[in-house]
Chain A
Amino acid sequence: MSHDIRSYFPPKAGSEAKGKCKEMKVNVERRHRKRQLVCIDSDSDEDILPSQVKKHERKSGISVSCVRGVTQKNSKSISKPELKPIDVADVFGNSQIKRTASKKDEVKKVMKNVTPQLENLHSDSEFVGTLQELDERKNFCKKENEITPVKEKQKHALHTSEFSKSALDSYKIPRNAMKETPNKTDIKLLAQKEESRDKETTSLISQPETSPDLPKKIKGNEYLSTENGTQQEKAVRSPASVKRCDISSDEDVYERKRQHAMQYQRYLQREGPKNPGGKEVPQGRPGCLSGLVFVVTGVLETIDREETSSLIKQCGGRVTSSVSRNTNYLVVGEEPGPAKIEKAAKLNTPHLTEDELFALIRARSCLPDTERLSKDSEEVIKKDEKIKHKDNLSRNDITHGTRIETSKSIKKNIKKEETEMPVLEKQDISLSPPSARNTTFQRHSLWADKYKPVSTKHIIGQQGDRSNVKKLIKWLQSWHSNHSGKKKLVRPSPWAKDETGSYFKAALLSGPPGVGKTTTAHLVCEELGFDVVEFNASDTRSKKLLHEEVSELLNNKSLSGYFQGAAGRKPTENHVLIMDEVDGMAGNEDRGGMQELIQLIKSSRVPVICMCNDRHHPKIRSLTNYCFDLQFSRPSVKQIGGAMMSICFKEGIKMSPETLNDIITGTNHDVRQVLHHLSVWSVKDKQLSFENIKEESLKAKKDVKLGPWDVVKKVFSADVHKSMSIHDKSDLFFHDYSLGPLFVQENYLGVMPHKSRNNRKRHLELVAQTAESLSSGDMVEKTIRSKSAWSLLPAQAIFSSVLPGDLLEGHFTCQINFPAWLGKNSRRSKFQRLLQELHGHMRLNISGSKEAVNLDYMTHLRDAISGPLIKDGVDGVPATLHVMQDYYLLREDIDSLMELSLWPNQKDPMSLVDSKVKAALTHRFNKGGIMTPYSIVKIKNSASKSSQDLEFDGDEQDVGEEEEEEEGITRDAMIKVKKRNTTTQNPAPGRSGAKRRKVDNKEVRKKNDKHERK
């Protein structure tokens, strides 16, 4: 019926039916014929408005935005494709490159869909060439601004609901011929398609898959709806399975076996889908695959295996892990499991590619192939003229109801290509605000923003199953169930590999800049439907502020839950606090911020995501105890390279993969940096000559700061020296001029110099010269540091790095060590501190200086203290106590005395002392107390407290409390001491020493008596 009506209303002014239009119509026709009728009524009403708009555009030639504005005002129903500003852009000729790029891509897609198997045959250059030709042609067509007879035919075809197959074919050929240049491969394709079609007269389902042609597809779909299912299946099955069987039979079984192990390795390492989200995944009607059994093998192109199986299950199909007799289909991706293929061949199980699977789902759930539709419609849109637009507008209005649905599906397509297709983006404006925002971005934004991943699947290097993104998603998903208070969570051991991080309330993403930490966090939150509250380095994050603002915020409830009435979701659930750049929390502004952040995490009721560059930074270290640690590493050159190539392609930059690799390594695998470089070049010149590229890629070399390990390796490496000037060599020193010389000094003995040629005498001479040079370097350094003579640094570079490197150039024979000097020096200063303390205590009774104590007293004093204990056990305690009293030593001083006097390969004399005796000594010491002429209490406490504050800054409070308790005990003992001191009226120790000793002796005796009685 509808056809009749339509035939009464021929398209206006020779306007062409647009793809959109067609597709709408088809949908309408197929689904609700009645409704369409209603729509047609409205058609006539709104017809005028769009045409006016078009007139406007034509007359005044206003800019795109103007037109857009008008249309937006008009109503939502005015559909987007018609407003293609591409025409305008065409007029100005500015955005040519962009347009061609998009076109190319589009065409590429179509071709891909047509012949997935044949795709590999195209060599790159050939392909690109074809695309260019295509573009030129298209441009030409557009400029001509006239309707080709073919198109008219096309349009006509649309309106007639029935057409014979032969008509279809005949129709298709000229169209193809027009659209695509007579390219060899294309022709081949067509020929092949037609052949297959001829063979299988009923294989209507395969037609939409293989032909890029719109009308035919519609036809196919229409057919599908009336066709019965079993026939289609056969149609799908037969060609594919035949092909696969051939392949598998060709393969040598033995060779496969031999490669089996290798393949397994590859299986372990294999990545996620190559082009995730690249195609629209059909939402099949539930139950449309019921009764079918699938086996998935290999990596599919756009969806991963889990998605595939869930898709099949959604549609009612079953997925098994191995091929059996019951298996209906084998879904084959890249690098399929050979065993499965083999078995499938044996059982004659048909193979499906990803596209075929989609097609099957679409077919069985009676969905139109929207992807194809939208793409074709785009093409037509671009080719056709403004008159067409007008007509289309009206039609779109008519079919408004159904359109939204389809445009949504289009949108999905667009999402992927949005940056390259400004035209299509405008379609979205009226529908979705977020993409509108993207559109405004796109013109003037940095590439880093422009090509920002829009879904977690696009993040470079994060597609694997165990990637950080997946972990983060899992963690975030299960956060609320984990921390609802019901589960008892155990703190995982810091060494065990933690996959879920369920214990932690916060996640810490760490990694070098430009690998996508922030992007990951935002995308994951977005995809899981969490609202993001972000604080970054630009906000002040002091303790106070964090406490006031953030903690308040975290206790807030998001009202959106109430408004949307989200079922089953708690209102507080949906936000996440993102603390970006936590390592930037420094300085006076953010003082105490880290502490507060930890407190905040402890009490947080929402997930917290922190991000930093260096997780080993001392400030961050305390934070890591409370965070699920996700470390991002730099993506490999290959991973970045793939993504960058596609961007280059979109932007029309010609660049060889090798150059790109150079740039990537030069920028130290920083994706953002690579993008910046590319964008700078794109402004300069689209086509860089080879020399240019070489030169530029040299410039692109980020000044990578080498670690001291690499530096010292280079300093002594003979190979590296060949290409280095003296300036380069001294530059090595400046990578870290404080640590570099130490590394050289530590490791120069491990170098085997090539000069000496196994002559040990010569080798020693070289070593001696090197050592002398190093000693000169140390002199220079002292001068630099003490007199701030920083201009001497180059001189130090020569002495401490260049000369040693020159003298000993060769190779390392042992591993490179971290400078021992640092550790030794800190031990030395610790010993000095102990010594000073000891000397301070002994000072009243001895005349010697600190040095004398160390050199002379140490051994004797040790023997005097430990001797009686070793010899007499508990009975020796009083003698030891006497010595301690005379020299005013504390119990702790004994330990430091032992430590100071202990040399390597010596036994600690205190280890010979029985632990009982030691306990008795401690007990006696605490009880009897030793009167010291110095005030231990205050100094000790303040010192230990302050050190505690420093050390346990940011650590658990429990530890601190324990310490304090211990301190409390000792403090008690001290108080006693103090009391006794005051009771003896603070006499001069020198004079009253004897008296006091007597008192002590008495006490000791009393105690001994008590002890014996017991």
Chain B
Amino acid sequence: MSLWVDKYRPNSLTKLDYHKAQALHLKNMVQQGDFPHLLVYGPSGAGKKTRIFCLLRELYGPGVERLRLEHMNIQTPSNKKIDITTVSSNYHLEVNPSDAGFHDRVVIQELIKTVAQTHQLDPSGQREFKVVVICEADCLTKDAQHALRRTMEKYVATCRIILVANTISRVIPAIRSRCLGVRVGAPNKEEIINILQSVCRKEGLSLPNELAERIAVQSNGNLRRAILFLETCKVQQYPFQPDQKVASHDWEIYLKDTAKMIVLEQSPQKLLQIRSRLYELMIHGIPSEIIFKGLLQELVKNCDMQLKTQIVEKAAFFEHRIHLGSKPIIHLEAFVASFMAIYKKFMEATVADLF
């Protein structure tokens, strides 16, 4: 009894629901028998992995569905042992080097190189090359990306690499130029609604359009999220009501509450409380970018235009610093502190104007 999101995942390029032109394009490319390295990028929940899986199936046939998990042990030059889990079929290998933290370079060098160096056992079977799927390519360190460069060129005869990334801004240009970029954009509202409706049809349920639309809006272009919301709604209440409440994620609520607290009171003591809440968010593994975004969106709602520019500027400044620094909490806190200072000043000025 999988969740719907996994149950109704399309498994061939033709069955894809949106970006159909692109799907066709890919299909044509595969049918020629060869394709360059790919860099698939797009926001989370847009269907990148799904698309890649469909592509692989198109390429190798149903054999790619025979997946297995493998644990690999790699030793770093400093004698540290790294465990890496890979998902592989006979034709492809999927790996997430950033699981190894900043030792990802070793993973690239050892693992991918060995795979790339070996030829397919029976070339008569399907293709002459294997495919290596590297997840979260934008999280690779610069070292790892540089290590990848040469491998990509040298073993192009035996191996194709598909990089999956949320954004290409963190992928070095050298890699970008070696790949064919495939952007998988998030589905728009109508597309999401259609998909939700089709899921409900397959489940034998009837979904009011209003609810579907609300879910689509709340999912913010993330199809995975939308389908998960739908299922939650079903668990909560069926038959659906058009005005049914769509429960958002716990972390979103928590983040919003935090933002509200900031607007409510500005003082060092409050900042201390905010800090502990921010810590809580970080502990739960919410990426700092998302925290930043969530905070900013909530905070600017209470500001006039002039203040907005100031605050957005501050946010951009500290968000950039998160990537330069090592402890995100410091920068988040600095942002909150500057917001508090600006906001307090603004409020006092307006209060003074009033009287």
Contacts and interface: CB of A to CB of B under 8 A. Distances in A.
B338 A768 contact: yes
Contacts of A763: 268
21 contacts: A767-B268, A767-B337, A771-B333, A771-B334, A771-B337, A772-B334, A775-B318, A821-B327, A824-B279, A843-B69, A844-B87, A847-B9, A848-B44, A856-B45, A861-B3, A879-B1, A883-B1, A883-B2, A903-B254, A903-B284, A904-B254
Given A764-B344, A779-B324, A847 B49 contact: yes
Contacts of A860: 3, 228, 231-232
Contacts of A768: 334, 337-338, 340-342
Contacts of B66: 988, 990-991
Top 9 A-B pairs, shortest CB-CB distance: A988-B66, A847-B49, A771-B334, A768-B341, A778-B325, A771-B337, A934-B69, A775-B334, A768-B337
Contact of B280 (A844, A858, A903, A990): A903
A901 interface: yes
Nearest to A903: B250
A939 B83 contact: yes
A761 B249 contact: no
Interface string B73-84: 000000000010
B235 A863 contact: yes
Interface of chain B: mostly helix, strand, loop or mixed = helix
Interface string A753-789: 0000000110111011011101111110110010000
Nearest to A878: B1
A867 interface: yes
Contacts of A852: 44-45, 224
A48 interface: no
A849 interface: yes
A764 B331 CA distance: 16
Given A848-B49, A900-B284, A939-B83, A859 B331 contact: no
Contacts of A771: 330, 333-334, 336-338
B6 A935 contact: no
A90 B324 CA distance: 76
A827 B290 CA distance: 20
B337 to A, nearest CB: 4
B153 to A, nearest CB: 27
Q: Identify which of B222, B271, B337, B348 gathers the most chain A CB atoms within 10 Å of its CB.
A: B337
Contacts of A820: 276, 279
A626 interface: no
Given A820-B276, A847-B6, A857-B228, 11 more contacts: A749-B272, A761-B345, A774-B334, A832-B285, A847-B49, A849-B96, A860-B232, A903-B250, A933-B68, A934-B71, A988-B67
B49 A933 contact: no
A760 B331 CA distance: 22
Contacts of B276: 820
A846 interface: yes
B269 A749 contact: yes
A939 B321 CA distance: 39
A145 B266 CA distance: 92
A882 B275 CA distance: 40
Interface string B254-286: 100000000000111101100110011011111
A328 interface: no
Contacts of A821: 327, 329
B345 A765 contact: yes
B282 A824 contact: yes
Interface string B333-355: 11011101110110010000000
Contacts of A843: 69, 85, 87
Contacts of B337: 764, 767-768, 770-772
A161 B224 CA distance: 120
Given A779-B321, A820-B279, A860-B232, A854 B284 contact: yes
B158 interface: no
A374 interface: no
Contacts of B306: none
Contacts of B287: 851
B50 interface: yes
Contacts of A840: 69, 85
Contacts of B318: 775
A782 B85 contact: no
A887 B2 CA distance: 7
B231 A991 contact: no
A856 B283 CA distance: 16
A828 interface: yes
Interface of B: 1-3, 5-6, 9, 44-45, 49-50, 53, 62, 65-71, 83, 85, 87, 96, 99, 135-136, 222, 224-225, 228, 231-232, 235, 249-251, 254, 266-269, 271-272, 275-276, 279-280, 282-287, 290, 318, 321, 324-327, 329-331, 333-334, 336-338, 340-342, 344-345, 348
A745 B44 contact: no
Contact of A991 (B65, B70, B326): B65
Interface of chain A: mostly helix, strand, loop or mixed = helix
A110 B279 CA distance: 73
Contacts of A818: none
Contacts of A886: 1-2, 6
Contacts of A745: 330, 333
A856 B45 CA distance: 9
A636 interface: no
Contacts of A858: 249
A816 interface: no
A855 interface: yes
B264 to A, nearest CB: 14
A988 B88 CA distance: 11
A989 interface: yes
Contacts of B345: 761, 765
A554 interface: no
Interface string A104-118: 000000000000000
Contacts of A887: 2
Contacts of B271: 749, 767
Given A764-B337, A767-B268, A778 B331 contact: yes
Contacts of B251: 855, 903
A409 interface: no
A836 interface: yes
A775 B85 CA distance: 36
Contacts of B254: 903-904
Contacts of A761: 341, 344-345, 348
A945 to B, nearest CB: 14
A765 to B, nearest CB: 5
Nearest to B321: A775
A828 B285 contact: yes
B283 A782 contact: no
A849 B65 contact: no
Contacts of A991: 62, 65-66
A579 B275 CA distance: 47
Interface in A312-356: none
Q: Identify which of B99, B266, B325 gathers the most chain A CB atoms within 10 Å of its CB.
A: B325
